[in-house]
Amino acid sequence: MPYTHDSPIPIANHAPPAHTHPIARPQPMDATDSSKAKSGVGDAMVHFQFHFHFHPAHAKRLILPQRQFDLITMNEISIEELPGIGPATAEKLKDAGFNSIEAIAVASPSELAGTAEIGESTAVKIIAAARTSADVGGFETGDAILERRKEIGKLKLGCTEVDNMMGGGFETQAITEVYGEFGSGKTQIAHQLAVNVQLPVGMGGLYGSVIIIDTENTFRPDRITSMVEGASKRYETEYDPEEFLKNIHVARAYNSNHQILLMDTASELADSLRDTDKPVRLLIVDSLTAHFRAEYVGRGTLADRQQKLNKHLHALMRFGDLHNAMVFVTNQVMSKPDAFFGDPTKPIGGHILGHTSTFRLYLRKSKGDKRVAKLVDSPNLPDGEALYTVTPEGLFD
C-alpha cells in the first residue's frame, strides 16, 4: 500500500465495526449535540484564527526520505538562524507566511524581497542558505524521487470510472483543477472529497482533515451531512456527521487579496494539525478564479491578474508538497463565441493555470443526474472520460 501514514487502523476493503472506528458515532446525538452540529462551521472558522509556533523539523517529515529527515531532525534550525535574517526580518517573513525554512527555500527572490521588504540580493542569499539547510533545490536521483513519491496518497471520489481514470484516485502533492459550466458538479465534488478524505486509507480516504477556501459562499454543512449519511450506508458503518464537520475548516474569501492572504492562515492551521491524528490532507479552493475574473476586467489588467494568480498557485503547490496534501481547485469556463466546431468552452486563468495544475478535468452535464468528467491534462495518465452520478447522498457510479 503506497500510503500508510497516519492511518491508525490499517483496514482492508471492508468496514470496521462501528464501536472501534474513531469517527463512528459513539452514541445517538442529543439535542445539545445537534445544535452543535449546526455550528460546526462556525467552530471551524474560529479555529482558523489561532496562531502556532511552527517547528521547521516537522516541515518535510512526510515527504523526505528517512535519511534526510534524520539530518533535519539532528540539525534543527529556525529561520532566525539563517545568515542575513535578523529578528526584524524574521518577523516580516513570518508575517508574510514564510514561517519555515522549506517555505523560504522554494520561494523566488522577487517574491521574498517584495513581501519581506528586503533587497533582492539579500533575498537571493537567504534563499540559498535556506536551500542548503533544508536540503532542497539540488538535483535528486531517480531512486530518491521514487522514494518521495511513495509518500503520495490517493484520495478516491468513490466513483469507479473517475477513480480508475485518475489512476486509482486524486494524488496528494499535486494540484487538481476541475473546470466546467455552472451546475456541472465542481462544488459537489469538493464536498464529496471533504467527506472522503476523512475516511481511512482502506476506504479510499487519507484519514485527514480538510481546509476549504470558499470564495462563492457555496459550502453547505447540510450537504456534508447527507454525504456522510450516504457513506454510512455504503460502508455499513454509523458515521457521525458532526465529527466530519469538525474536521472541515472553512474560511470565506471576500476578494482575491483576501483569498491569497488566507493561504498564510491555512498554512498555520495545517502546521498546528500536523502532529494530530487528523493532519490536513486536502486543501480546496472553490472557486480559484472567480474573484480574479470579477476584479480584473479589461485587457490592461491581465498581466497584473496573472502575476497574482501565479503567486497564489505557487503557494498552493507549496502547501501540497509540504503537507503531502491534495490540492483541489475549481475554475469556470468562458464561452468562445467564435468556436463553431467542438466544445465552445475553455477554462479561464490562461496559460499560468494550465501549466501549474498537475491534473485538469473538464466536467459537463449529461442526462439527468449524470455528469461526465474528462481528463484533459495529466503528467502520467492517458486522457479519458468517466461517467458519474450526483445523488442526494453524494456522488456515485
Positions touching ligand GTP (CB under 6 A) are 180, 182-188, 332, 369, 390-392
CB of 154 to Mg ion, least distance (A): 24
Residue owning grid cell 517555505: 103
Q: Closer to Mg ion by CB, 191 or 308: give it.
A: 191
Q: Which residues contact 67 (CB under 8 A, 6 or more apart)?
A: none
What are 28-37's contacts with CB under 8 Å, separation 24+? 29/240, 29/242, 33/242, 34/242, 36/242, 37/221, 37/225, 37/241, 37/242, 37/245
- Partners of 359 in the β-ladder: 176
Q: Closer to ligand GTP by CB, 264 or 393: give it.
A: 393
The entry of Mg ion, ligand GTP, none near residue 232 (CB within 5 to 8 angstroms by kind) is: none
The entry of ligand GTP, Mg ion, none near residue 184 (CB within 5 to 8 angstroms by kind) is: ligand GTP
188 binds Mg ion (CB under 5 A): no
Cell triple for residue 298? 479589461
331 binds Mg ion (CB under 5 A): no
265 binds Mg ion (CB under 5 A): no
The entry of Mg ion, ligand GTP, none near residue 344 (CB within 5 to 8 angstroms by kind) is: none
CB of 220 to ligand GTP, least distance (A): 9
Contact criterion met (CB below 8 Å) for 150 and 337: no
Q: Closer to ligand GTP by CB, 293 or 305: give it.
A: 293
CA separation for the pair 115, 13 (Å, rounded)? 48
Residue owning grid cell 472567480: 290
192 binds Mg ion (CB under 5 A): no
Contact criterion met (CB below 8 Å) for 359 and 176: yes
CB of 353 to Mg ion, least distance (A): 17
The entry of ligand GTP, Mg ion, none near residue 241 (CB within 5 to 8 angstroms by kind) is: none
Q: Closer to ligand GTP by CB, 119 or 392: give it.
A: 392
Query: Distances from the Cα of 128 to the Cαs of 31, 57, 120, 176, in angstroms?
Result: 57, 18, 12, 30
Going edge to edge, which strands form the sheet with 280-286? Answer: 248-252, 209-214, 280-286, 326-331, 174-179, 359-365, 370-377, 384-391, 394-396
Q: Closer to Mg ion by CB, 218 or 272: give it.
A: 218
Cell triple for residue 222? 447540510
The entry of ligand GTP, Mg ion, none near residue 390 (CB within 5 to 8 angstroms by kind) is: ligand GTP
**Single-letter amino acid code for the residue at 311:** K
Site residues (CB under 5 A) for Mg ion, limited to 78-107: none
CB of 287 to ligand GTP, least distance (A): 6
The entry of ligand GTP, Mg ion, none near residue 73 (CB within 5 to 8 angstroms by kind) is: none
Around 157, how many Cα atoms within 13 Å sit in the side-chain half-sphere?
Answer: 29
Helices 221-235 and 186-196: angle between axes, nearest 10 degrees: 60
The entry of Mg ion, ligand GTP, none near residue 391 (CB within 5 to 8 angstroms by kind) is: ligand GTP
Q: Closer to Mg ion by CB, 64 or 224: give it.
A: 224
CA separation for the pair 245, 145 (Å, rounded)? 35
The footprint of Mg ion on this chain (CB under 5 A) covers a number of residues equal to 3
CB of 388 to ligand GTP, least distance (A): 12
Q: Closer to ligand GTP by CB, 184 or 356: give it.
A: 184
Site residues (CB under 5 A) for Mg ion, limited to 200-219: 218
176 binds Mg ion (CB under 5 A): no
289 binds Mg ion (CB under 5 A): no
The entry of ligand GTP, Mg ion, none near residue 97 (CB within 5 to 8 angstroms by kind) is: none
First to last CA, the chain: 24
> Would you tell me how many other CB atoms lie within 10 Å of the CB of residue 42?
12
Q: Which residues bind Mg ion (CB under 5 A)?
A: 186-187, 218
